[in-house]
Amino acid sequence: MSEPFLNPAARPAPIVLAIVGLCALFEIAFTLADTPLIDFPTLRNMALVYGAFWPGLLQDWQPVFPGQPLTMFVSYAFLHGSFLHMLFNMLILMALARQAVVRLGQGGFLLAYVLCSIGGAGAYYLLSTTGAPMLGASGAVFGLFGMQIFWDIQARRARGLPLDPPIRLAIGLVVMNVLLWALVAGMLAWQAHLGGFVTGAALAATVTPTLGHRHRR
């Protein structure tokens, strides 16, 4: 690849820090709300009511506020089920984001992040059979995986290099999802992961292989 796939030593771009900061701010608020200092134990559930992705709102459920069936396609990606859930997603986000920011710019990265979130939510709605609410940034994070793997394959083909590394990574992601799904007894939104990944790969296909440029085909 033209850029390091994972480069934790590189300083994250401001837009990445803003996303991480917002997700962390919500989770810190929810955690503090459970302590005697704040004593607002229903804050997390209240936020989920307003911000999680609820499939029923695209059917016959009544929204809490006007526009909720639209805003939930993005708001769910900034809420998490626990501090560890948020931390895991944000660490992966910071490790993956560098090449996407370089290729797309900060505005383009934000747009891609939002579109991958929407793609993840759409796939969850279409493929999930539980109707359970969904939250977390993993749909957008898997979108970054989709972009990175597509760009890696693109660069390797151009140079005549083996495609084994990105293919192994893609297989590894599938195996990881299967293992996590089994570990949490099916309570894993793999549909959002798939939707985000496909959306990210599709977005990557619209960007030329030259880093730092955003000319369209």
Half-sphere exposure of 132 (CA within 13 A, CB side): 10
pLDDT at 208: 61
* pLDDT on residue 190: 96
| pLDDT tier for residue 216 given thresholds of 50, 70 and 90 | very low
- Within a domain: 8: no
Residue 7 has pLDDT above 80, yes or no: no
Joined together, the tokens standing for residue 103 give: 């290729």
What is the DSSP code (8-state) at residue 81? Answer: S
Both structure tokens of 206:
């619209």
The chain-wide mean pLDDT, for the chain, equals 91
- Residue 4 placed within a domain: no
CATH code, domain with 27: 1.20.1540.10
The C-alpha angle 192, 152, 93, rounded to 5 degrees, equals 45
Does residue 213 surpass a pLDDT of 50? no
Do the beta carbons of residue 206 and residue 217 sit within 8 Å? yes
Q: Give which of 150, 153, 113, 118 is closest to 134, Cα–Cα.
A: 118
User: Can you give the C-alpha Rg of the chain in angstroms?
Assistant: 18
Per the structure, the count of domains in the chain is: 1
What is d(CA 214, CA 173) in angstroms, rounded to the nearest whole number? 28
- Residue 2 falls inside a structural domain: no
Q: Would you say residue 63 lies in a domain?
A: yes
% of the chain at pLDDT higher than 90: 84
| Digit-coded pLDDT (tens) for 63-104 | 999 999 999 999 999 999 999 999 999 999 999 999 999 999
Domain residues for 84? Answer: 14-204
Give per-residue pLDDT as tens, 94-151: 999 999 999 999 999 999 999 999 999 999 999 998 889 999 999 999 999 999 999 9
Tell me if 6 is assigned to some domain.
no
pLDDT digits (tens, 9 = 90+) for 162-190: 999 999 999 999 999 999 999 988 889 99
Whether the CA torsion 137, 105, 70, 173 is positive or negative: it is: negative
215 is a domain residue: no
Torsion of CA 197, 201, 71, 84, to 10 degrees: 40
Tell me how far apart the alpha carbons of residues 193 and 214 are, in angstroms, rounded to a whole number.
26
Which residues, including other chains, have CB under 8 Å from residue 151's CB and lie 6 or more apart? Answer: 1, 2, 99, 103, 204, 207, 209
Give the C-alpha separation, 154 to 206, whole Å: 12
